């Protein structure tokens, strides 16, 4: 008997009750996190244990993920850097610099709007847009 992993089910479970933002901001990831932490009073920190590693063109590419856990809820914020050395975590969104995944709790619409407004107020940010699961071809790349 062969057991087969169903990656579609895995992805569906991972993305259940998540919200995903795409952000264009021409700034280093650690500088962006510092600005977000100052503005939103968050505490984004790099989490090397969940870094995404992709193997393309006979070499490895590493995509860092910064993490912030809301202190009073089960909501966790993950900030992915979409680009590493000319490769993209989500190649269908090459124009995006960062991907912000909210996971672990239901996110209210008013909270989401406040968050988007806050992110947009940062000077290096040119665009913030919500991405729907249907638009993401390589959603498996976001699973850690």
Give the residue with greater pLDDT, 134 vs 54. 54
Task: Round the average pLDDT of the chain to a whole number and report it.
Answer: 90
pTM: 0.88
User: Per-residue pLDDT tens for 63-113?
Assistant: 999 999 999 999 999 999 999 998 999 999 999 999 999 999 999 999 999
Name beta bridge partners: 27. Answer: none
What gap in Å lies between CA 99 and CA 128, rounded to an integer?
Answer: 10
What gap in Å lies between CA 18 and CA 104, rounded to an integer?
Answer: 7
Question: Predicted confidence band at 23 (pLDDT cuts at 50, 70, 90)?
Answer: very high
Q: What are phi and psi of 117, to 5 degrees?
A: -60, -45
Termini Cα distance of the chain: 28
| pLDDT for the residue numbered 3 | 57
Domains of the chain from N-terminus onward: 17-142 (3.30.310)
């Amino acid at each position: 008997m062969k057991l087969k992993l169903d990656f579609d089910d895995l992805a569906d479970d991972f993305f259940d009750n998540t919200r995903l933002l795409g952000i264009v901001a021409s700034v280093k990831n650690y500088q962006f996190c510092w600005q977000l932490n100052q503005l939103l009073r968050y505490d984004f920190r790099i989490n090397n244990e969940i870094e995404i590693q992709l193997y393309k063109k006979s070499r490895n590419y590493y995509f860092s993920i910064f993490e912030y856990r809301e202190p009073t809820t089960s909501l966790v914020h993950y900030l992915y850097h979409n680009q590493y050395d000319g490769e993209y975590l989500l190649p269908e969104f090459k124009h995006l610099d960062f991907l912000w995944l909210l996971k672990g709790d239901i996110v209210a619409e008013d909270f989401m709007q406040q968050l988007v407004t806050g992110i947009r107020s940062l000077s290096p940010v040119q665009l913030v847009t919500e991405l729907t699961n249907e638009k993401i071809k390589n959603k498996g790349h976001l699973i850690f």
